[in-house]
Amino acid sequence: MHFDHSWKTGGQLTGRRVTGLAAWGNPLARPSDKYLPVASAVLLFIWIMLVPFLLAHVFVAVADAGRAAAAEATQLVTTQATLLRATQPRYDSRGLVLAGEVPVEASWVSSTGAVLQGRISAPPGLSEGATVPVWVTAGGSLHKPPRTSTWARDELVVSAIAGWTAVGVILWGCDSTLKCAVRRRNIRRWASEWSTLGGSFD
């Protein structure tokens, strides 16, 4: 015996799946069908409620990063480094000139008057003896340019947005996994019930 479970009218048995809040008004709906939209709403609520916490964290972190950047800037100075050899452009496998700076040996004088030497980055095409500005510490050691407060703020904002998005993806994955598990369990139950009635569920 084969039971037709396609969509029909007149209150006959149908195979249409009841989802969302409509399941609460259906006396034949299973408990899992009723509480599944509640679980989805809870996950969405958790994701939205993360926004004020992230904003508070970003405001505090931006203030701290601004103070750290200002403190770092006071400990660094710029000086002129003299190239000890000409900078040669770099080429790729096709013979095209690569953009960007190239490493080269240079010397500079620290704030204490000591002459130091090391490898810096400079634009290609400069001749030996040319000068390039570099950032150094009070002791004369090379240092990357200090971070500005705007730079630190942008990094924190991007990190916060990326983190919030990642959490949203994780929660969406949890919701999808839960729905898939409930759907598969319902299909197995429906197949068992149809088999008991002597029909086939397809």
The pLDDT, as a whole number, for residue 27 is 60
Q: Which two tokens stand for residue 180?
A: 């898939």
Task: Map out the domains of the chain as residue ranges.
Answer: 20-70+150-197, 76-137
Q: What is the spatial distance between Cα 157 and Cα 63, in angstroms, rounded to a whole number?
A: 12
3-state DSSP call for residue 8? Answer: coil
What CA–CA distance (Å, rounded) separates 20 from 191?
Answer: 22
CB atoms inside a 10 Å sphere around CB 36: 20
pLDDT at 12: 39
Question: Mind spelling out the 3-state secondary structure of 85-136?
Answer: CCCCCCECCCCCECCCCEEEEEEEECCCCCEEEEEEEECCCCCCCCEEEEEE
User: Taking the C-alpha atoms of 51, 57, 60 and 62 in order, what is their torsion angle to the nearest 10 degrees?
Assistant: -80
Query: pLDDT per residue over 43-76, tens digit each?
Result: 889 888 888 888 888 888 888 887 887 787 788 8
Which segments in the chain show pLDDT lower than 70?
1-30, 32, 97, 99, 198-202
Nearest residue to 114 via CA among 94, 89, 83, 139: 139
Output the pLDDT for position 198. 64
The per-residue pLDDT for 169 is 92
pLDDT at 202: 56
Q: CB of 130 within 8 A of CB of 102? A: no
Q: How far apart are CA 162 and CA 168, in angstroms?
A: 10
pLDDT of the residue at 26? 60
pTM: 0.50
